[in-house]
């Protein structure tokens, strides 16, 4: 599932930059900054780092919704 999700996100980045920003911000918890002070002013490069953790609570980047 993770590989498919990353492949899909990488494909979305290539064809719909606004859509990829939405997915990253709303569903992946990526902080893109505020309007006018964006972290990435142009496009976000499609580069991914994948972490596997025994306990997701130990990773500060993981949202526990």
pLDDT for 52 equals 67
pTM: 0.52
65 lies in a domain? no
* Site of tokens 């306990």: 55
48 lies in a domain? yes
63 lies in a domain? no
64 lies in a domain? no
DSSP string spanning the chain? -HHHHHHHHHHHHHH-HHHHHHHHHHHS----EETTEESSSSPPP--------S-GGG-TTS---
Q: What are the distances in angstroms from CA 4 to CA 1, 7, 39, 57, 62?
A: 5, 5, 26, 24, 19
Identify which has the larger pLDDT, 65 or 21.
Answer: 21
Structural domains counted in the chain? 1
Each residue's pLDDT tens digit, 22-48: 888 888 887 877 776 666 666 666 666
Domain of 9, in residue numbers: 2-58
22 lies in a domain? yes
């Amino acid at each position: 599932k993770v590989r498919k999700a990353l492949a899909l996100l990488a494909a979305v980045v290539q064809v719909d930059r606004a859509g990829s920003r939405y997915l990253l911000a709303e569903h992946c918890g990526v902080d893109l900054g505020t309007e006018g002070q964006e972290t990435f002013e142009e496009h976000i490069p499609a580069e991914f780092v994948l972490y596997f953790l025994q306990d997701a609570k130990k990773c500060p980047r993981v949202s526990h919704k």
